[in-house]
Amino acid sequence: MKILVTGKGGREHAILTALSESPSQPQLFAWPGSDAIASLATRVDAPDLPALIAFMKQEGIDLCVAGEEAWLVKDEGLANMCETAGIPCWGPRKESAQLEASKTFAKLFLKRHGIPTADFTVCESKAEALAAIKEYPTVLKFDGLAAGKGVAVCPNAEEAEAFLDDVFTKLLFGAGNLIVETCLTGPEISIFVSVCDDQYHILMPARDYKRIRDNDQGPNTGGMGAVASRDLADAALMQRIEEEIVKPTVQGLIKDGLRYRGFLYCGLMLTPQGPMVIEYNCRFGDPEAEAVLPMVRGDFEQYCFAAAQGKLAPELISFAEGWSICVILASAGYPASSRSGDAICGLEQVSDARVFHCGTRRNPAGVYETNGGRVLAVVAQGTTRTAARDQAYANADKITFDGQQRRTDIAKMHFE
Ligand code: AMP
Ligand code: GLY
């Protein structure tokens, strides 16, 4: 079996690793992949989606697994183009991926199907947004793909004004609307669901840590770490999430004629009123994938292959007991910027942990160096949260590069 994964980051490194550890050992390809991914998969050099599809047809790729979100909504959409070419794709069609690409689309979907979410107003200008803000803190969201950085939780008018200037005056994220949302409170949880038409399978839950500094201080990032365990949510909570969020979401997709085959990420806040949807993503989370996927047992390859063809078979995989913890090592300047070219030391000293490469490259001497904001994901498992945490941090300590940033409270904050 030949499988191609789209993307180049830590999530894709983790997906490819899980596929490579499947019993049938598929032949793997990655587009565009990375220097680190090249040890697992053949990198495909295609300038655009049409060229990628042509490559997949010519190579006889049996399955395309969508990693990054951007390709799902580019051109006619990765999944739609695969479908036309007769290649099974584990990732949703363009029209369905609007759930992530357009926050307005997602909010209207949630409202239409009675799924709990924060109240909101869609605004087209700074003046409209200022008029829609009823109280502080308020939540402002740029309506489009912004790599996890288009959201600001603003404690006061000054910060709201500054973010509105970023969006409407400086056009930092490009053109687009803005959503003003009621600020919710409570712990967050990431629920991953494999959705295959009207069938669904809820995977192991995770929690990510989005702010750059300890104790949730500083700006939002793509994610500075994650913790995954079945123990993150008890049976009663999972039942409630299934009934109030997952089922109506899957039924809503069917009612709206939005065919969906792929991972769906429900970002929830566990508010005093119950679980509410903060956002949908039409892919696995990053860095949650790096924490969850090492816990998968069974045949992940056959699971994805069958589901992409309309047969969801939850019995093909299971999830390990215990805890999995991912600590992100980020580069200097992140998230406002990122510094590339800092040599990474100590990778070879890592033991009893996995390292997924989020943003690295090999320099001409063959040494890995930083190449992006999030650089590495150090991941360890343990029977207890503290054992997994100690193991992850002990290994993270071995890896050094200039300007490294990381949080020290992954899997600690919200638990102790
Ligand atoms: P999003 O990109 O929509 O997931 O938002 C990024 C982060 O902003 C979330 O993970 C939350 O931490 C925070 N956030 C988003 N919406 C809200 C909300 N309505 N109330 C409080 N925090 C929010
Ligand atoms: N961990 C957040 C995301 O994948 O968007």
CATH of the domain at 340: 3.90.600.10
| pLDDT tens readout for residues 41-96 | 999 999 999 999 999 999 999 999 999 999 999 999 999 999 999 999 999 999 99
What local confidence, expressed as pLDDT, does residue 30 receive?
98
Please state, as a whole number, how many other Cβ atoms lie within 10 Å of the Cβ of residue 365: 7
CB 405 within 8 A of CB 374: no
- Number of domains making up the chain: 4
Instruction: State the closest ligand 1 atom to the C-alpha of 267, by its place in the atom list counted from 1.
Output: 4
Do 286 and 333 share a domain, yes or no? no
Average pLDDT over residues 344-373: 97
Centre of ligand 2 to C-alpha 414, Å, is 18
Whether residues 20 and 78 share a domain: the answer is yes
CATH number of 38's domain: 3.40.50.20
Residue 197 lies in a domain: yes
Residue 170 lies inside a defined structural domain of this protein: yes
377 and 391 share a domain? Answer: yes
Domain boundary pick from 162, 182, 202: 182
Least confident of 154-158, 220-224, 244-248, 274-278: 220-224
Cβ of residue 281 lying under 6 Å from some atom of ligand 1? no
Confidence of residue 145 (pLDDT cuts 50, 70, 90): low
- 8 Å CB contact between 198 and 250: yes
- pLDDT exceeds 90 at position 146: no
Q: Taking 90 as the threshold, does the pLDDT of residue 8 lie above it? A: yes
State the ligand closest to the CA atom of 226.
2
Please indicate whether residue 221, judged by its CB atom, sits closer than 6 Å to ligand 2: no
Are 195 and 297 contained in the same domain? Answer: yes
Grade residue 147 by pLDDT with cuts at 50, 70 and 90: low
pLDDT tier at 148, thresholds 50, 70, 90? low
* Residue whose token pair is 């090592």: 329
User: Whose CA is closest to 176, among 140, 124, 128, 130?
Assistant: 124
Does 113 have pLDDT greater than 90?
A: yes
**208 pocket-lining for ligand 2 (C-beta < 6 Å):** yes
Mean pLDDT for the chain overall: 96
| Together in a domain, 306 and 333 | no
Are 43 and 88 in the same domain?
yes
pLDDT-derived band at 267, boundaries 50, 70, 90: very high
Mutate to test the pocket of ligand 1, among 115, 138, 153 (most ligand atoms within 8 A of CB): 153
Q: Who wins on pLDDT, 175 or 363? A: 363
Q: Is the CB of 188 under 6 A from ligand 1?
A: yes
CA of 357 to the centre of ligand 2 (A): 16
Region class of 112: left (phi > 0), else alpha (psi between -120 and 50), else beta: alpha
Q: Which one of 286, 319, 352 terminates a domain?
A: 319
Q: Does some domain include residue 11?
A: yes
Going by their DSSP bridges, the two strands 42-43 and 27-32 should be labelled as parallel
For range 174-179, the mean pLDDT = 91
The sign of the torsion formed by the CA atoms of 243, 246, 251, 256 equals positive
User: Percentage of the chain surpassing pLDDT 70?
Assistant: 99
Q: Is the pLDDT of residue 3 over 90?
A: yes
Tell me how far the alpha carbon of residue 154 lies from the centroid of ligand 1, in angstroms.
11
What is the reported pLDDT for 244?
A: 98
DSSP string, 3-46: EEEEE-SHHHHHHHHHHHTSTT--EEEEEE--TTGGGTSEEP--
- Ligand 2 centroid to Cα of residue 226, in Å, is 10
**Cβ of residue 88 lying under 6 Å from some atom of ligand 2:** no
- pLDDT, residue 192, reads 98
**3-state secondary structure string across 152-207:** EEECCHHHHHHHHHHHHHCCCCCCCCEEEEECCCCCEEEEEEEEECCEEEECCCEE
Residue-wise pLDDT tens digits, 248-260: 999 999 999 999 9
Residues 312, 381: one domain? no
In a domain, 99, yes or no: no
Among 159, 181, 278, the mutation site with the greatest number of ligand 1 atoms within 8 A of its Cβ is 278
Nearest CA-CA partner of 339 in 286, 397, 398, 404? 404
Residue 268's domain is classified under what CATH number? Answer: 3.30.470.20
Q: What is the mean pLDDT of residues 117-143?
A: 96
What is the average per-residue pLDDT within 227-245? Answer: 97
Domain boundary among 137, 154, 182: 182
CA of 278 to the centre of ligand 1 (A): 6
Atom of ligand 2 at shortest range from CA of 287: 1
220 and 160 both lie in a single domain: no
pLDDT band at 150 (very low <50, low <70, confident <90, very high): confident
Statement to judge: residues 306 and 368 lie in one domain: no
Q: Is residue 264 part of a domain?
A: yes
Ligand found nearest the CA of 149 = 1
Q: Record the tokens describing residue 166, joined without a space.
A: 């970023």
- If asked whether residues 178 and 189 sit together in one domain, one would say no
Q: Which atom of ligand 2 is nearest to the CA of 285?
A: 4
Q: Looking at the domain assignment, is residue 111 inside a domain? A: no
- Please identify, by atom number, the ligand 1 atom nearest to the C-alpha of residue 150: 2
pLDDT band per the 50, 70, 90 thresholds, residue 219: confident
User: What is the pLDDT at residue 90?
Assistant: 98
Q: Which of 280, 288, 292 to mutate to test the pocket of ligand 2 (most atoms within 8 A of CB)?
A: 288
288 and 330 within one domain = no
Q: Regarding beta strands 89-90 and 27-32, do their DSSP bridges make them parallel or antiparallel, or are they unpaired?
A: unpaired
- Name the phi and psi angles at 149, rounded to 5: -110, 5
* Ligand located closest to 285 CA: 2
Mean pLDDT along residues 87-107:
96
**Residue 87: inside a domain, yes or no?**
yes
Tokens of residue 137, six digits = 């803190």
Query: Which of 134-148, 158-172, 220-234 is predicted with the least confidence, judged by mean pLDDT?
Result: 134-148
Residue 83 and residue 170 share a domain: no
Phi (first) and psi of residue 47, to 5 degrees: -75, -25
**Enclosing domain of residue 163:** 119-182
Residue 102 placed within a domain? no
Mean pLDDT of 233-247: 97
pLDDT in tens, 293-347: 999 999 999 999 999 999 999 999 999 999 999 999 999 999 999 999 999 999 9
